[in-house]
Structure 1
């Protein structure tokens, strides 16, 4: 009876070990401008009494991992396979915890894609890979400059339109009022002028 219990315990040991294994730090999707640096963290911890030899790998995938797709016309299921899969780096440790940060310098458009962190226990007969993914999007520098130029032009036109709308009421207030029409005035000779003309008549 005791041997049977021990045999069952040995068979179930891998399940117990991996039951509480998990990633303690995972990478996130990121969007950067061309030429910037990128860091993607990945950390893993396994729980158990047996010794561990953990291996962590970073892979570059042009597309996401294979997945099943359903064709609505034929009813068949097809598997999407990634076009490219390249191993970037590998780290191994003796213990139940491992971490490895992927660093990319001056990324370009060719670096865009899916990055995958894989962890496995080399001591385990039933090798099981734990995987986590993150997507990197890279915006070309020319596109960023073009967007900034368009944004600058739009802001300038917005300021001009606002200035025109503000100046219109002031122009209406400062508009000169035309003079009102007044009746014509009669001119009369002054008494001094009349006396002078009378003197000239007497002298003649």
Structure 2
């Protein structure tokens, strides 16, 4: 029994060994777990998860979210032009996830991920640990980037910025909007990018 466990835990799976159905199952299962953990964490801290998602009367959080997303996307595009591709490689996961996906599905993925992750990271963890440590945890869970310092630093910086606009606007919709736009635009770029 022990020998089988050691073989199991050391086996590394490459992205091309996972079929599309399993990739999506993994994505949606991860987001479901993220949502459940977020709700329990928020309830445990005696806060209301529904109240955190109240739609603001003012458009300010949405404007801040859109502005931050635009800045993050421009920075990412500049970095991708300057830095060699192998220094930002995520193992092909994003490419595989978005390349053949219909646009409606890219929108759905971006919406689900932005709500679930921002509810956990900004709505729950940041309330307990603050912006800096939340950004450390956020960068760490994006494990596919940890092999290269540039994408890890970018994920940390984006997380810190999301935490800041949440704190500044006092609305979870600011980071949700930014996260949604960033994931949507980057997904669409991967979807429509043609090899030169």
- Higher strand content, 1 or 2: 1
TM-score bracket, normalised by the shorter chain, equals under 0.3
What TM-score results when the alignment is normalised by the length of structure 2?
Answer: 0.21
Higher relative contact order (CA 8 A, sep 6+): 2
What TM-score results when the alignment is normalised by the length of structure 1?
Answer: 0.20
- Higher helix content, 1 or 2: 2
Q: Is the radius of gyration larger for structure 1 or structure 2?
A: 1
